[in-house]
Structure 1
Amino acid sequence: MTATIPRLPDGPAPAQGGDEPAGIAFFDVDGTLLRLTSLVSFYEYYVRGFAPVERARSLDALADLLRADLPREEANAAYYRLIAGEPVAEMAAAGRRWFAQVLVQGFVDAAVHAQLDVHRAAGRTVVLVSGSFPACLEPVAAHLGADRVLCSRPEIAHGRYTGWLGTPMIGDAKAAAVAAVLDELPPGTPSWAYGDHASDLPMLEQVRTPVVVGDDATLTRLARERGWEVLVGDGPLAAPAEPVRTGAGAR
């Protein structure tokens, strides 16, 4: 299933009043706001605290998943099977430490972050839309001052992840989530969306002002054909340096 994380307490409230709504801006996260793949980067960080044999087994399982080259929706669901049995609270705490490291290492895209700040300064609602999950996204949203997060939410039972995921927040699911939010707003509300991958196209097509981030061949071609804006961003995705062992998830 998918879910919306409520607006964070330190996020800006949407602007009120005026003849025209201030607007709303949707941002993909991996490859758009962050120059890395959050699920992979976080998992590699998290398992550093495992015992050596289990750490090696976990990293091998991740490597097998990445080598399988599955469609994004299938890969997303398979990822959450890797975290079956992990404590939700422990992963959330590790997520905060992981993102602190991401910030230090400079993996927030400055150009896209600047655009997000422009929207916030104008009083627009800022929404993150991602196939990632709350352990990764809550610290990102808090740091950026996002108002809402639309994301994949893997099933939880007795304080642990079960490994089951319904519909990943990818592709058409992103578009449906964005459309549902737009339906809550007055007709004609200005809207923007930022995405870096062809799978973001359905989301981009929901808004009045789509913005392509980076150089994805499909998106840049469509941007030229349709007159969409293209934001170069800071550069290609990169993997963080070897994380220090913190004891996150230690067995």
Structure 2
Amino acid sequence: MNLALFDLDNTLLAGDSDFEWAQFLISKGVVDREVQEAKNVEFYEHYKAGTLDIDAFLEFQLAPLTRHPRAELDAWHREYMDRHIRPLIGDKARALVRSHLDAGDLCVIVTATNSFVTGPIAREFGIHHLIGTIPAVDVKDGAFFGTSTGTPSFQSGKIVRVEQWLEAHGLWWGSFDNSYFYSDSHNDLPLMKHVRTPVAVDPDDKLCHHATEMGWKIITLR
């Protein structure tokens, strides 16, 4: 059996689910456009530079979830999937995932984006396993507290979270004949170096340079 790990934003998606969720909330009048877009640009520039403060970013991104009942958020998410996410899922991305699922590989999406936003997206791909940043919730009503819990699945944190997930399922890296990780970002280099078969997908400049030097496979899903 093989392990196939997939980054989500700008890898399987031709865009960023966090950014699209923010744009959706702006369109609903839930958050202020000027403030939200300015902060998104600031955080994204730090992300591209590899200097993102993940805790500050999560505090900003999770805050809007605290202001509305869970049922309302879930209804909004269904609308968000139709308007913002399904148009970002190309045939090549679906075919790549399907090829691994049909081969009987254990498929997991590993993303820094929180699991509220990304859970339904993983299911859209037919992937039942998701490792995302976990928002803290009230177990009684599912309301969000605006903070995360555990290790954010970002940069080297992705290795931590994947290994915790494997252990919880009675597995380890040696359980698999091969392990893949598909990503677009140099922020994912720690996990890409950890698997046997890293694959750069429409990579940023830093990842493209590294992948070329290392002889890693480079593909496009666009």
TM-score class, shorter-chain normalisation, is 0.7 to 0.9
Could you say which residue in structure 2 is the equivalent of 1:160? 143
Residue 23 and residue 30 in structure 1: after superposition, are their counterparts in 2 closer, same or farther (change >3 A)? Answer: same
Could you say which residue in structure 2 is the equivalent of 1:146? 127
Residue 187 and residue 159 in structure 1: after superposition, are their counterparts in 2 closer, same or farther (change >3 A)? Answer: closer
**Distance in 2 between the 1:191 and 1:67 partners?**
34
Q: TM-score, normalised by structure 1?
A: 0.74
1:212 counterpart (168, 175, 200): 200
**Distance in 1 between the 2:192 and 2:173 partners?**
19
Asked if 1:91 is matched to 2:73, the reply is yes
Who wins on radius of gyration, i.e. which is larger? 1
Could you say which residue in structure 2 is the equivalent of 1:202? 190
**Bigger shift: 162-171 or 117-126?**
162-171
Residue 204 and residue 228 in structure 1: after superposition, are their counterparts in 2 closer, same or farther (change >3 A)? Answer: same
**Distance in 1 between the 2:75 and 2:113 partners?**
16
1:128 to partner: Cα distance: 0.6
SS of 1:149 mapped into structure 2 = strand
What is the aligned length?
A: 207
Could you say which residue in structure 2 is the equivalent of 1:66? 40
2:179 counterpart (159, 167, 191): 191
Could you say which residue in structure 2 is the equivalent of 1:29? 8
Residues 131 and 170 of structure 1 are in contact (CA less than 8 Å); yes or no, is this contact kept in structure 2?
yes
Could you say which residue in structure 2 is the equivalent of 1:43? 22
1:48 to partner: Cα distance: 3.0
Q: CA RMSD in A?
A: 2.2
1:111 to partner: Cα distance: 2.5
Unaligned runs of 5+ in 2: 47-51
Give deviations 1:112-157, integer Å, cap 9, x for gaps.
Answer: 3322111011011110111222332222121211020001111123
Unaligned runs of 5+ in 1: 1-21, 235-251
Residue 89 and residue 204 in structure 1: after superposition, are their counterparts in 2 closer, same or farther (change >3 A)? Answer: farther
Return the letter of the residue paired with 1:90.
Answer: E
**Bigger shift: 174-183 or 164-173?**
174-183
1:63 to partner: Cα distance: 1.7
**Distance in 2 between the 1:110 and 1:26 partners?**
18
**Distance in 1 between the 2:129 and 2:212 partners?**
30
Moved over 4 A (4+): none
Could you say which residue in structure 2 is the equivalent of 1:17? none
SS of 1:83 mapped into structure 2 = helix
**Distance in 2 between the 1:37 and 1:89 partners?**
24
Could you say which residue in structure 2 is the equivalent of 1:18? none
Greater length-normalized contact order (CA 8 Å, ≥ 6 residues apart): 1
**Distance in 2 between the 1:198 and 1:186 partners?**
22
- Please state which structure has a larger fraction of its residues in strand: 2
Residue 192 and residue 221 in structure 1: after superposition, are their counterparts in 2 closer, same or farther (change >3 A)? Answer: same
1:182 to partner: Cα distance: 4.6
**Distance in 1 between the 2:192 and 2:42 partners?**
28
Residue 72 and residue 99 in structure 1: after superposition, are their counterparts in 2 closer, same or farther (change >3 A)? Answer: farther
Could you say which residue in structure 2 is the equivalent of 1:244? none
SS of 1:35 mapped into structure 2 = coil
Aligned-residue sequence identity (percent) comes to 23
Residues 102 and 108 of structure 1 are in contact (CA less than 8 Å); yes or no, is this contact kept in structure 2?
no
1:168 to partner: Cα distance: 2.5
1:210 to partner: Cα distance: 0.4
